[in-house]
């Protein structure tokens, strides 16, 4: 039976509070692939139900070649279990984890929008720079979601100790309504996770790894802040802070890097000093010198906005997208 056939007719079970079991029948009609990576694919799909019910969702799957890999499978299940209880407007919501005899998949909310990387690249195509207030709003709201994840406790009140470990422009989505959403907790660590010891394995994308991750010293929430600081730098300048393809190259870059190397004014001279200082603090090599939590970074950004008499909101970001992406107007209010 084909992959598509599995999704066309699914049968699940849901226990109610009274102990009764209600059978739920439904279908997922796969529409097109939204993205693919080394571990799996993400599909746009339609969830069908009774009486003409229809809802667009995103479905994340594991590549068939990876299904027999216990480590890959456990990481996939970890992500689903972890993100299922992360309910925040700036985090992609997981709706369901399901499996058939041959397939495992995560059903998530679908966001009509673009990644931050697509926004940056579009600005380059048009010979523009992304407005600083738009960048600041996106990063500050991402901090809200990140702070929530960092502070998350389980149902027994125990701190989960979540660290995303893969903050990058492709994992930040901005809906056409102007709402930033953090995605892909596939390599996140938490008290409940079973991923490999990060002191022997480096997780995440090389250009955005924190120094402590590269040197296998372990990571904490400040490692995510470092990565987000690099994203802020890239959004402002349109350039990767560390254009590297290996941990060896990144180690050399970090060893030779000077404090002024990550000053966005080197490429965008009119960037206000206060905003440049925020970037430098977030990307300090020593975690003790960075913002100590995501809300501290958000407050610094928002203070700069207020002092600059800039008041961006979701409508401002939405308007910016509509003017630059042809499909934005169509899907703005979906």
Q: What is the pLDDT of residues 306-318, one digit of tens each?
A: 999 999 999 999 9
Question: What's phi and psi for 278, nearest 5 deg?
Answer: -65, -45
**Is the pLDDT assigned to residue 13 strictly greater than 50?**
no
Q: Tell me, letter by letter, the H, E, C secondary structure of 19-34.
A: CCEEEEEEEEEEEEEE
For the chain, give the mean pLDDT.
84
**Is the pLDDT assigned to residue 99 strictly greater than 90?**
no
The C-alpha atoms of residue 137 and residue 187 are separated, in whole angstroms, by 26
pTM: 0.86
Distant-in-sequence, close-in-space partners of 42: CB < 8 Å, separation ≥ 6: 33, 34, 35, 36, 58, 59, 60, 61
Q: Which of 60-64, 217-221, 231-235, 253-257 has the highest mean pLDDT?
A: 231-235
The fold of the 3-109 domain, in CATH, is: Phosphorylase Kinase; domain 1 (3.30.200)
In this prediction, residues 58-76 reach a mean pLDDT of 78
| Superfamily grouping for domain 113-330 | Transferase(Phosphotransferase) domain 1 (1.10.510.10)
* Active site positions, annotated: 166
Are 294 and 143 contacting, i.e. CB atoms less than 8 angstroms apart? yes
- Boundaries of every domain in the chain: 3-109, 113-330
What tokens were used for 298?
A: 């958000």
What tokens were used for 168?
A: 């990058």
The 10 Å Cβ neighbour count of residue 215 is 15
Which runs of E-coded beta strand occur in the chain? 10-15, 21-36, 40-48, 54-62, 94-99, 104-109, 113-115, 172-175, 180-182
């Amino acid at each position: 039976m084909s992959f598509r056939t599995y999704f066309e007719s699914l049968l699940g079970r849901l226990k109610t509070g009274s102990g009764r079991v209600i059978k739920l029948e439904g279908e997922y009609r796969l529409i097109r692939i939204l993205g693919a990576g080394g571990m799996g694919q993400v599909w746009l799909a339609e969830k069908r139900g009774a009486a003409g019910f229809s809802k667009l969702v995103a479905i994340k799957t594991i590549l068939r070649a990876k299904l027999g890999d216990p480590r890959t499978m456990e990481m996939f299940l970890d992500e689903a279990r972890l993100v299922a209880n992360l309910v925040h407007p700036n985090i992609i919501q997981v709706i369901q984890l399901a499996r058939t005899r041959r397939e495992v998949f995560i059903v998530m909310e679908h966001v009509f929008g673009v990644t931050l990387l697509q926004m940056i690249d579009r600005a380059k195509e048009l010979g523009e720079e992304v407005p600083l207030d738009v960048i600041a709003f996106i990063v500050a709201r991402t901090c809200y979601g990140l702070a929530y994840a960092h502070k998350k406790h389980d149902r027994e009140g125990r701190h989960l100790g979540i660290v995303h470990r893969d903050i990058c422009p492709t994992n930040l989505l901005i809906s056409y309504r102007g709402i930033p959403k953090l995605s892909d907790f596939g390599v996140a660590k938490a008290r409940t996770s079973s991923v490999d010891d990060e002191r022997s394995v480096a997780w995440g994308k090389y250009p955005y790894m924190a120094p402590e991750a590269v040197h296998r010293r372990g990571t904490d929430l400040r490692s995510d802040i470092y990565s987000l600081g690099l994203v802020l730098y890239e959004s402002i300048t349109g350039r990767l802070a560390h254009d590297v393809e290996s941990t060896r190259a990144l180690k050399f870059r970090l060893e030779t890097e000077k404090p002024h190397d990550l000053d966005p004014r080197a490429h965008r001279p009119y960037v206000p000093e206060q905003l440049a200082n925020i970037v430098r603090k977030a990307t300090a090599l020593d975690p003790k010198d960075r913002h100590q939590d995501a809300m501290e970074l958000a407050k610094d950004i928002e203070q700069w906005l207020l002092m600059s008499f800039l008041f961006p909101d979701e409508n401002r970001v939405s308007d910016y997208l509509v003017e630059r992406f042809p499909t934005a107007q169509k899907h703005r209010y979906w």
